Amino acid sequence: MTALDPSARISASPSPGQRSKAAAYLALTKPRIIELLLVTTIPVMFLAHKGIPSLWLIVATLVGGALSAGAANTFNCVYDRDIDAEMHRTSNRPMVTGEITPRAGIVFGVILTVVSTVWFAVFTNWLSAALSLGAIVMYAVGYTMILKRRTAQNIVWGGAAGCMPVLIGWSAVADSVSWSAVMLFLVIFFWTPPHYWPLSMKFKDDYAAAHVPMLPVVQEFVVVARQIVAYSWAMVAASLALVWVNPMGWVYLGTAVVTGALFLAEAHRLLRAAKTGAGPKVLKPMRLFHFSITYVGILFLGVALDPLVHLPVFSR
């Protein structure tokens, strides 16, 4: 067989079965969640550097972050396969359908954990590696194994793992964690319940069937909506406090004020609707869920642009 033999090229290409298996492993990592996590990473790196960091450092941090988040999500899929089987929106995950065995999933998660930790240690620094490993443990053990099935506040404390990319992005540039990074951590921490609880309201029956005590399952919607409003106000307050902590300029301040006001308006709309005793179809909680994603994207775009066109709010 020569190098020009067409059959050689055909046999070298992945078979449909191999592509299907690769897609199944990719699905375990929950790529859409990874995208959202990485949206917060690059802007924080810009802010920590007061400009644009080296392209290699950005790429190295994103690769490590994607591997780390993929590991945490993989462990989540393995442990929650019984719950996922009971819920319509997760019933086609590879661990439920049997495309990936639990043992294979655990091995894959361990490999991703080791590779991501070593990657950060080699190409960024040990602090970023430690924060990355801590995020995996927080999500896979703290949230998935301990909190999710035991408390209605699961997403509040378990969601802290989703705030870690902010600290990782900062530490990758500065090899330290500052109060500015902590403030942005708090923005995402307070953002998580108003982001996730509307989704839980929409799929309340799914969570109830799987015996997962999400807040909308164990409390009336009006109680959930009140907590959403409270966390939304805390989130906006944290985003504005960054102006004094860092300090930020007019670009960020304007972005935070406008997007924060829109977020609060949508949260209060949900509360008003919940007070009528309406169900999910009338409440339309997914409006806030979808806007919460837009909010994070625009707010952190402001974080990235502010140091590039810095127009100080306070002169010094």
Domains defined for the chain, CATH in brackets: 22-177 (1.10.357.140), 178-316 (1.20.120)
Q: Which helix (H) or strand (E) holds 65?
A: helix 55-79
pTM: 0.90
Do 47 and 180 form a contact (C-beta atoms < 8 A)? yes
Give the integer Cα–Cα distance in Å for 196 and 109.
24
Backbone angles phi, psi at 290, to 5 degrees: -70, -40
pLDDT, tens digit, 9 for 90 and up, residues 141-169: 999 999 999 999 999 988 888 899 999 99
Give the integer Cα–Cα distance in Å for 292 and 300.
12
pLDDT, tens digit, 9 for 90 and up, residues 49-107: 999 999 999 999 999 999 999 999 999 999 999 999 998 888 899 999 999 999 999 99
